[in-house]
Amino acid sequence: MKRKSIALVLSLGLLGSVTLGSIETVYAEGNKNTTNISEVKVDNKVELSDKKNKEIKNGWEIINDKWYYHESDGSLATGFKKINDEWYRFDNNGEMQVGWQYINDIWYHFRDNGPMDTGWRKINNDWYYFNNDGEMQTGWQSIGNKRYHFRDNGVMDTGWRSLGSDWYLLNSDGEMQTGWQHINNIWYHLEDDGKMNTGWQDINGDKYYFNNSGEMQTGWQYINDIWYHLRENGPADTGWRKINNDWYYFDNIGKMQTSWQDIDNSTYYFNDNGVMSIGWRTIESEWYYFNNSGAKESNKVIDDWYLDKNGVGNQIVTEGVYGKSGKGRDLEYYRIGHGKKVLFSVFGVHGYEDAWSGDSQELKIIAEKSVNRLRSEYNTKGIDLSEWSVYIIPSANPDGRIDGWTNNGPGRTTVTTKNDINRSFPTGFSPFYSARNYTGPTALGSPEAKALYGFINKTMEGATEKVLLDVHGWENKTIGNPSIARYFDNEFGFRNINKYPGGFVITYGNAIGAKSVLVEFPVPYSHQDILRRDFSGKFANGLVNILLNN
């Protein structure tokens, strides 16, 4: 190649200011080393000149292990320069830049041989991304239909990354993950925008719960004072669910149900732990029965218990004591049913009647058979009988029945006070002093009479219907309310006397609003005669018909 001489014209008007300096040059294109090369700046362009007017090199030049590039006019390139489809950067002195460069608040990276990086670049084991202009990218970037995140220093994120108030997951290639992710045996779920789910989430029609670390929860979870159950694969249970041999019910958002619940036209009860009740359960002091499917039963008899229309269970027959006799014996009663209507039937106020010694024992037997009859009736007519409570006192004067000796004194009357209970009640009371009907000067002159009086008042209080029966033997009649008496008149062929003698139990009953009847069985000849004529069956028929028709 020919060398050209450059005439140095010092005229400021022609070339402007000129600066000379001496440097050594190695030509990149195989030129020999040349000394006495001058660096000349002409109008701020850097040019190289041989003091001996030698030729100036174009293109690449390496000088003191630094690379330079000559423009076609011989000046050195500065700033960005595109050479053979690659971009380079030269400083103000024309020196080619390599590595990281911070230019106008933007980071660039140039390879060791000078070209500017674009696209993906791994530098010191970290990945970076540079756009087509070579600008290092930060923050979220969409590249090839994938989302990536780059830190402020340009390093591509991988793994879990907290950004703002949200967590994101980027795989080992830096790709932002979405949907279900299984990591270290734990399931996570990420939204379409990459945000990690926490709390309750609806995913494909199912509800899932993720803790604050994003871990999908399973099994029992207590959240905001409410129990939930999440299956092994995550969805919250709804509806019926059997867990460890117990049944639970969860509403449509997964809340475990407790207490009373109406489900598909049946009523169920779930305890505080959510377990469905089966069999007998006491709830707020009431008994209920739940069948094997857990549904509450009602209007039926189970195990000698009657379940009313609300499902409340009551023993069909219960026994109790309403007081003490003069000699300290329990005054016993039976209760059948638990309705608001009350039928009160007292037997044996006279320990002796007039058939044979101690014949009041026959009345006690009839009373107890009537109890058993009513018990059996509840099994078939429970719904119809459920409105009633029936009280039966089998022996109101046990001392007279057991320890008495006569129907003209103790036996018929009480033993300790020799008092005729049936003439001692306050309504229309007049004192009797004969041994057979002795009352003394005041009403309720015996412990037995006082106890009976109090018990009648207690059981009748608040009743919506009141019937009182006083059962005796053996005068073959009824005395008192004809509408109730007819049920026994029809069974036995009795005649009815519609009156209320002074001091009688039925007279007091009538005074407190009870339909009251004294029943006198026909004269019997023996215990077998009573059985043969079925006194107990006929009396029970009358009782049942009263209950069914009133």
The angle at the Cα of 406, spanning 400 to 411, to the nearest 5 degrees, equals 10
* 15 has pLDDT over 80: no
Three-class secondary structure of residue 205 per DSSP: coil
CATH 2.10.270 fits 18-78, yes or no: yes
CA–CA gap between residue 30 and residue 194 (Å, rounded): 57
Residues 6+ apart with CB under 8 A from 349: 396, 397, 421, 422, 448, 452, 470, 472, 505
**pLDDT (0 to 100) of residue 58:** 82
The angle at the Cα of 514, spanning 513 to 519, to the nearest 5 degrees, equals 145
Say if residues 229 and 237 touch (Cβ distance below 8 Å).
yes
Confidence class for position 37, pLDDT limits 50, 70, 90: very low
| Burial (CB count <10 Å: 0-12, 13-18, 19+), residue 525 | exposed
**pLDDT (0 to 100) of residue 54:** 47
CB atoms within 10 A of CB 106: 11
* 271 has pLDDT over 50: yes
Confidence class for position 115, pLDDT limits 50, 70, 90: very high
Tokens of 412: 């018929």
Q: End-to-end alpha-carbon separation of the chain, Å?
A: 138
CA–CA gap between residue 414 and residue 398 (Å, rounded): 8
Task: Calculate the alpha carbon distances from 245 to 255, 275, 280, 290, 399 in Å.
Answer: 19, 10, 18, 17, 57
Q: Could you report the per-residue pLDDT of 464-489, keeping only the tens digit for each?
A: 999 999 999 999 999 999 999 999 99
CA–CA gap between residue 235 and residue 243 (Å, rounded): 15
197-257 and 315-549: identical CATH topology: no
Q: Could you report the per-residue pLDDT of 311-345, keeping only the tens digit for each?
A: 999 899 999 999 999 999 999 999 998 889 999 99
**pLDDT (0 to 100) of residue 34:** 37
- Phi-psi bin for 373: left (phi > 0), alpha (psi -120 to 50), beta? alpha
Say if residues 37 and 50 touch (Cβ distance below 8 Å).
yes
CA–CA gap between residue 379 and residue 307 (Å, rounded): 11
Confidence class for position 173, pLDDT limits 50, 70, 90: very high
**Beta bridge partner(s), residue 496:** 478
* 22 has pLDDT over 90: no
Q: Could you report the per-residue pLDDT of 60-106, keeping only the tens digit for each?
A: 999 999 999 999 999 999 999 999 999 999 999 999 999 999 999 99
- Mean predicted lDDT score pLDDT of the chain: 91
**pLDDT (0 to 100) of residue 5:** 31
Q: Taking the mean position of all CA atoms in its chain, how far away is CA 358?
A: 64
CA–CA gap between residue 543 and residue 6 (Å, rounded): 145
Of 110-124, 195-209, 372-386, 534-548, the poorest mean pLDDT is in 372-386
The CATH number of 197-257 is 2.10.270.10
* 13 has pLDDT over 80: no
**pLDDT (0 to 100) of residue 308:** 87
Residue ranges of the domains in the chain? 18-78, 197-257, 315-549
**Beta bridge partner(s), residue 241:** 248
Range 254-277 average pLDDT: 98
**Beta bridge partner(s), residue 45:** 42
The CATH number of 315-549 is 3.40.630.10
Tokens of 320: 């109790």
Confidence class for position 3, pLDDT limits 50, 70, 90: very low
CA–CA gap between residue 301 and residue 376 (Å, rounded): 10
